[in-house]
Structure 1
Amino acid sequence: MKTLVWVEHDGITVKDATLSAVTAAAKLGEVHLLVAGENVGGVADAAAKIAGVGTVHVADGALYAHALPENVAPLVVALMADHDAFVAPATTTGKNIAPRVAALLDVMQVSEVLSVVGPDTFTRPIYAGNAIATVKSSDAKKVLTIRGTAFEKAAAEGGSGTVEAVSAATDDAGVSRFVGSELAQSARPELTSAKIIVSGGRALGSGEAFHDLIEPLADKLGAAVGASRAAVDAGYVPNDYQVGQTGKIVAPEVYVAVGISGAIQHLAGMKDSKIIVAINKDEDAPIFQVADLGLVGDLFKIVPELTEKL
């Protein structure tokens, strides 16, 4: 069984989400990768070094510079003539491309796969992760998105895959165009790959308080900064910080939740963390039901004191 994996990258390096997708794909059989973009020779060479990879298909062209799914999906479908399954990380980009591929192939997509039981059987979360469903696909071609926190990352070095160029399309689908991007620049670790995350909630009251309390604590711990949806909706921090069912799914070694009540939507994005620390003045907050360590009290007093003692 040949599986084609979408390589998530920033034009320079392969992102960690790809490594987890490779691990999942390896459980299905032979692993091939697809690198699409503009001037991505370096990315392709890095992808070929991932352990367990066979062929790296490279589509290098201006049409793929920003991974517009309307242009990428037909490319994937063309390559699926020689592959049995398409696997994409369950990231913003992966979840944008995979459904279009499934629609063009006229197959059902299996989303947020947690484990590979067999060549056609998988587990995935339902009801915001409160239940795990085992699903069996009867489609000839499989289209899967992989929850990265559920799989170990494949080794980024040690592989010896071959790089093979594929014909890049010259005709734009013409239904979307890249206008621009506003990326949050930070020296802190990336949220989805950080070992420690400090997240703040609506209880912080303002963006100024969020930055004054959460960021110094995160810097002391060498942690990434996250937020609840309520904090993002209130405008404290950009959407890129959001952890939860409609945000980023994380599973760090330590997750510190400050002023977060623990709504189901948020818990779905972080409850697989190894150690969960909760700071909240409401002792009945749902977050304490999943927390390994809980501290009931005023976060405006506790957090500065904790930061000072670290």
Structure 2
Amino acid sequence: MFARTTRSLRTVSVSTLRARLLSTLTIAEHSNATLNAGTLSAISAARQLGPGPINVLVAGAEADVTSIASQIAQVDGLTKVITVANTAYAKGLPENLAALVAAEVKANSYTHVVASGSAFGRNLLPRVGALLDVQPISDITQVVNESTFVRPIYAGNAIATVHSTDPIKLVTIRASAFAAVELAGASTTIEASTNDPNVPKSSEWISEEITKSERPDLGTAKKVVSGGRGLKDKANFEAVMYPLADALGAAIGASRAAVDAGFCDNSLQVGQTGKVVAPELYLSVGISGAIQHLAGMKDSKTIAAINKDGDAPIFEVADVGLVADLFEAVPELTSKIKA
């Protein structure tokens, strides 16, 4: 006599299988208990990778961690917010933070790590890549699928589609290319990590000088006015650009030439070696339009330019252009906006 054995098979959909395989760790960027808006764009990009858990890592001093984690926990669709309170990670020093991120990835088998493409993300993920022996993919503007991404190259003059075969994808995103998720009042679980490697401090924060302004932040502003070499000196920059920015309710930016000449702080630099912005309105004043500058602003929805040189390269990308002496045109424009 032979006994008959019956086996039942359960089919699993491709999407369910992918959800089991994919898991993403998003790195929160923050400063003095203030969440950087680029983190919300990074979460938006993480959602596009496909189904699977999305966790957010918040590391820093205890007071900062508590405040930031509470804010992020309001985002819908997150699996959990992971906190690490350790003074070694205060100020987001990448030399210290990289070991923590690598430890989290190994302990939880994350397939993706996502961060904003700010100075913070650009400093951190290459170090994490070295520890994990994988190649970071920087400054992406589109997620094709979980292993394929679109990013600009050659100062934005060419677009590359990059496919990664690494088991762990380390990705920094261009914040302006991904709409920030909203703090929708959710109550995501917050839990402390047990994977802190407690590495000795390899770097230490000494001091900082913060430029405070009531104007909108350059990286996230909907309107930006930028000044260039044509303003001639710092006094002219402040006398011409500040009233214009205030009249428009805009952030202030600058070309590298203006920053190098000392017209303004380097935190205002727009371009390949500065900040990449994509506001609804970008008004260029006295900027010729070098390729490095165009790389930082040509994705703006509307570009306007004022320059006395009608052959300036900026006019090739501008939607609206005015060939005029900026010292006459800008004060007149400012007075009409105020009126």
Q: TM-score range by the shorter chain?
A: over 0.9
1:226 matched to 2:257: no
Alpha carbons 2:113, 2:171 under 8 Å: kept: yes
Match of 2:66 among 38, 41, 54: 41
SS in 1 for 2:240: helix
Alpha carbons 2:88, 2:201 under 8 Å: kept: no
The alignment's TM-score, normalised by the length of structure 1, stands at: 0.97
Name the CA distance, whole Å, in 2 between partners of 1:172 and 1:235. Answer: 38
Match of 1:246 in 2: 273
SS in 1 for 2:134: coil
Paired-residue identity, %: 52
Shift of 1:31: 1.4
Shift of 1:9: 1.2
Name the CA distance, whole Å, in 1 between partners of 2:186 and 2:174. Answer: 23
1:296 matched to 2:305: no
Name the CA distance, whole Å, in 1 between partners of 2:255 and 2:163. Answer: 34
SS in 1 for 2:278: coil
The alignment's TM-score, normalised by the length of structure 2, stands at: 0.89
Name the CA distance, whole Å, in 1 between partners of 2:77 and 2:287. Answer: 40
* Mapping of residues 100-111 of structure 1, within 5 Å: 100-111=127-138
Computing the radius of gyration from Cα coordinates, the structure with the larger value is: 2
SS in 2 for 1:56: strand
How many positions carry a matched residue from both structures? 309
1:173 matched to 2:198: no
Match of 1:66 in 2: 91
- Aligned Cα root-mean-square deviation (Å): 1.1
* Mapping of residues 129-168 of structure 1, within 5 Å: 129-167=156-194, 168=196
Alpha carbons 1:32, 1:56 under 8 Å: kept: yes
Shift of 1:182: 1.4
Shift of 1:152: 1.1
Match of 1:124 in 2: 151
Shift of 1:169: 4.7
SS in 1 for 2:79: strand
Aligned residue identity for 1:173: K
Alpha carbons 2:99, 2:199 under 8 Å: kept: no
Match of 1:192 in 2: 219
Match of 2:235 in 1: 208
What are the superposed Cα offsets for residues 233-271 of structure 1, whole Å, 9 maximum, x if unpaired? Answer: 111101100011110110111010000011111111111
Task: Structure 2: state its 5+ residue gaps.
Answer: 1-21
Aligned residue identity for 1:86: V
1:53 matched to 2:41: no
Shift of 1:308: 0.9
Alpha carbons 1:50, 1:155 under 8 Å: kept: yes
SS in 2 for 1:74: helix
What are the superposed Cα offsets for residues 117-158 of structure 1, whole Å, 9 maximum, x if unpaired? Answer: 111110111110011000110000010000011111111224
Aligned residue identity for 1:95: R
What are the superposed Cα offsets for residues 73-126 of structure 1, whole Å, 9 maximum, x if unpaired? Answer: 010001112111111100011111010001110001111011111111101111
Name the CA distance, whole Å, in 2 between partners of 1:216 and 1:76. Answer: 44
Match of 2:31 in 1: 10
What are the superposed Cα offsets for residues 172-229 of structure 1, whole Å, 9 maximum, x if unpaired? Answer: 232x221211111100010011110010001100011000000000001111000001
SS in 2 for 1:94: helix
Aligned residue identity for 1:12: A
Alpha carbons 1:56, 1:161 under 8 Å: kept: yes
Shift of 1:159: 3.1
Match of 1:113 in 2: 140
SS in 1 for 2:105: helix
Name the CA distance, whole Å, in 2 between partners of 1:97 and 1:270. Answer: 24
Alpha carbons 1:251, 1:272 under 8 Å: kept: yes
Alpha carbons 1:251, 1:274 under 8 Å: kept: yes
Task: Structure 1: state its 5+ residue gaps.
Answer: none
SS in 1 for 2:294: helix
Alpha carbons 2:140, 2:149 under 8 Å: kept: yes
Alpha carbons 1:54, 1:160 under 8 Å: kept: no
Shift of 1:61: 1.3
Name the CA distance, whole Å, in 1 between partners of 2:112 and 2:38. Answer: 18
SS in 2 for 1:138: coil
Name the CA distance, whole Å, in 2 between partners of 1:171 and 1:152. Answer: 35
Match of 2:114 in 1: 87
